[in-house]
């Protein structure tokens, strides 16, 4: 498995260098990868992902193919990022983080599994963006330097815990990150400013109303209606496993990526009506399986 890019800065650098690497003669020239039509992007991505798998990492051809894939699929990042447009963070930051998810999907895609690239890429992009919001939401004013340090500390903890079987100490974190122990301690203290919910927070009525309906504390110990949904999802798993790749891709795009039927049709090169018929058939098949 190839190593994936893991920082926003690297994502920017990778994206900015795409056009600077000339395409080897054996590969098709794509003058403006970002403006390739969705149906063509899907077809070309499949070809380039197969080619990438056979190339040696670090070669000029490898760099060209990988960067072209990134540029050509940035529309997918923009689509996923639009779902988070109401957040206070800048859209530029969200796009950069989403691009990291795209890069990870490209690096970890396995053509031998015969799964549509979008099926893998969308969850990676969404996951990276959600992680970004998780790591940059603060309840008190904290210097940006410490906000960024918190992210580094979280990643360092994951890496060190994966290597050993204990929670890393301040000294181990400092050595891993190459920073003084005092700075690590400062970063850990700053984590206390990370956003948390109060059990005394009022719950507002739905629909944008201002009427208070209770406190968060009132919900503690109550039955969670989402548990029934979780049970349904568990019951669906064996039936989902029986679907072919196309049907699973349709469900992922419709209910995972929350794409419209028209957007799915554009992505897969199908008409909206055809997508509607396919989704109806797949959902009916799953419903029959649950009721059997």
Architecture of domain 243-291: Orthogonal Bundle (1.10)
Q: pTM of the full predicted structure?
A: 0.43
Task: Report the SS3 class of residue 257.
Answer: coil
Alpha-carbon distances, residue 47 vs 22, 27, 52, 172, 251 (angstroms): 18, 10, 9, 44, 24
In this predicted model, what pLDDT tens digit does every residue of 223-254 receive, in sequence order?
A: 455 445 455 566 777 888 888 888 888 888 88
Contact yes or no for 100/8 (Cβ under 8 A): yes
Contacts (Cβ under 8 Å, ≥6 apart) of 97: 8, 11, 128, 129, 131, 132
Regions of the chain where pLDDT drops below 50 = 1-25, 138, 195-196, 198-199, 207-209, 216-217, 220-223, 226-227, 229
In this predicted model, what pLDDT tens digit does every residue of 84-114 receive, in sequence order?
A: 776 666 788 889 889 999 999 999 998 888 7
Contact yes or no for 161/168 (Cβ under 8 A): yes
> 243-291: same fold as 140-194?
yes
Q: Look at the domain 140-194 and name its fold.
A: Arc Repressor Mutant, subunit A (1.10.10)
pLDDT of residue 70: 92
The domain spans of the chain are: 8-135, 140-194, 243-291
């Amino acid at each position: 498995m190839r190593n994936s890019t893991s920082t926003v800065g690297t994502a920017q650098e990778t994206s900015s260098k795409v056009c600077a690497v000339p395409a080897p003669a054996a590969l098709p020239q794509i003058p403006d990868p970002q403006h390739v039509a969705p149906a063509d992007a899907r077809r070309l991505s499949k070809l380039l992902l197969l080619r990438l798998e056979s190339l040696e990492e670090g070669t000029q051809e490898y760099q060209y193919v990988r960067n072209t894939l990134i540029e050509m699929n940035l529309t997918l990042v923009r689509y996923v990022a639009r779902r988070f447009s109401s957040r206070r963070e800048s859209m530029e930051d969200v796009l950069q983080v989403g691009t990291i998810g795209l890069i990870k999907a490209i690096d970890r895609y396995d053509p031998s599994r015969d799964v549509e690239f979008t099926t893998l890429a969308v969850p990676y992009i969404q996951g990276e963006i959600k992680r970004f919001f998780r790591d940059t939401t603060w309840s008190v004013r904290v210097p940006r330097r410490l906000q960024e340090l918190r992210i580094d500390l979280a990643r360092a903890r994951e890496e060190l815990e994966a290597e050993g079987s204990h929670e890393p100490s301040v000294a181990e974190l400092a050595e891993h990150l190459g920073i003084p122990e005092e700075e690590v301690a400062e970063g850990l203290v700053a984590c206390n400013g990370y956003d948390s919910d109060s059990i005394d927070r009022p719950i507002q009525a739905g629909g944008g109303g201002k009427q208070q309906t209770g406190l968060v504390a009132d919900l503690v110990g109550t039955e969670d209606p989402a548990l029934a949904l979780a049970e349904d999802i568990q019951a669906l798993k064996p039936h989902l496993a029986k679907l072919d790749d196309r049907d699973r891709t349709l469900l992922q795009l419709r209910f995972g990526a929350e794409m419209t039927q028209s957007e799915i049709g554009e992505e897969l090169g199908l008409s909206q009506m055809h997508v509607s018929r396919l989704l109806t058939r797949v959902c009916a098949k799953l419903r029959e399986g649950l009721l059997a």
